[in-house]
Structure 1
Amino acid sequence: MKIVINGIHANLRFASAHMIPCHEFCGGIHGHSYHVDVTVEGERGGEFGFVVDFKTVKGRVREICKKLDHKLLVPENSKEIEFKNIDKYVEFSIKDKEYKIPREDCCLLPLPSTSAEALSEYFVEKLFQALSREGADIQAMEICVNEGIGQGACFEKIVK
């Protein structure tokens, strides 16, 4: 059995800036109004026969969205980014470009990129961990991180 949550209608959204270092068009800082679609597959169980409670899933996804909302998403594991400081300011360079941004305006992510592909995998891992701690018996999960309507990337984790 699967549950499906449409991010636009369920208000699973965040607005963030990012860059894809060294990419011809996406290399500069730019932003998106993201929305997150979620599919969770598992056995029905518990008192109510749910795969997992919609409210629980939406709450956990909103927590992740809130962490990213209105921040510059910076991939800590990027091969193209050289960090100089991450304390009060996040200071880094990409080739000949230098950046210095207040730490409170950044969200450093343990990712090689902040592409929709990398963000969808990040969301799956975070949500899977949270739901597993709460006892959900999940067989598969897919999350699509959309960079606006009609454009996104999906990552699926199969546990079966």
Structure 2
Amino acid sequence: MYRIEVIGSLKGLTWSSGHYVPDNEKCKNFHGHDYSIDVIIDSEEVEKSGMAIDFTIVKKSIKPVIEGMDHKFMVPETDIRQNSNPNFIDIYVEDNYRGTMSKNDIFVFPYPTDTAEFIAKYCYKEIFGRLLRIMHQFKLRVIIHEGPGNTAAYWEK
């Protein structure tokens, strides 16, 4: 078995985003974090080149995923309501109005909340789909660092 690891904090694979976690007393308020991502790929095969996959290809698969979230406010799609102005959205958490933001300032998050765990799952799904076009037999693990010392990981068996 071969393992490839890309450590995001050492490779510039970082971003900053705002979010909220409604079911957490401290985190229910709007706030933000600096994030980084680590990606681990296990493969039983190497290519003719001797590599399981080129590190550059892995980084190119990660960058568009995290760039979509960078300097955006993550809002779960279930919390979005259309504002009367088509350039803005209203944020409702559990049917309570929380604010209005420009569509340009948000990242519509496809999970019920934007915890580090769900960010890891989102990144996993996006990166896996990109790598699947290049590799066939591999296992992927994604680790999200929410500031220094706090991590959440996602992988599938």
TM-score (normalizing by structure 1): 0.89
* Higher mean C-alpha deviation, range 2-11 or range 86-95: 86-95
Q: Deviations over 1:11-54 (max 9, x none)?
A: 11110000112420000110000000110011333231221111
The match for 2:93 is 94
Unaligned regions of 5+ residues in structure 1, if any? none
Instruction: Name the Cα RMSD after superposition.
Output: 1.5
How far, CA to CA, are the matches of 1:44 and 1:118 in structure 2?
A: 30
Percent of aligned positions with the same letter in both sequences?
25
Deviation at 1:93, TM superposition (A): 1.6
The match for 2:52 is 51
Q: Deviations over 1:60-115 (max 9, x none)?
A: 111111110000011114xxx3x321741121222544310000000002111110
The match for 2:119 is 119
The match for 1:150 is 149
Q: Is the 8 A contact 1:40 1:138 kept in 2?
A: no
The match for 1:74 is 75
Letter in 2 for 1:40: I
Deviation at 1:157, TM superposition (A): 2.2
The match for 1:132 is 132
Alignment counterpart, residue 84 of structure 1, candidates 81, 86, 91: 81
How far, CA to CA, are the matches of 2:131 and 2:82 in structure 1?
A: 34
Q: Is the 8 A contact 2:13 2:37 kept in 1?
A: yes
Letter in 1 for 2:144: V
How far, CA to CA, are the matches of 1:113 and 1:93 in structure 2?
A: 13
Unaligned regions of 5+ residues in structure 2, if any? none
Runs of 4+ in 1 over 3 A off after TM superposition: none
Letter in 1 for 2:8: G
How far, CA to CA, are the matches of 2:48 and 2:146 in structure 1?
A: 37
Number of matched pairs: 153
Q: Is the 8 A contact 2:47 2:53 kept in 1?
A: no
Q: Is the 8 A contact 1:84 1:91 kept in 2?
A: yes
TM-score (normalizing by structure 2): 0.90
Letter in 1 for 2:82: N
Q: SS of the counterpart of 2:107?
A: strand
Q: Is the 8 A contact 1:13 1:62 kept in 2?
A: no
How far, CA to CA, are the matches of 2:137 and 2:58 in structure 1?
A: 12
Q: Is the 8 A contact 2:90 2:97 kept in 1?
A: no
Letter in 2 for 1:103: K
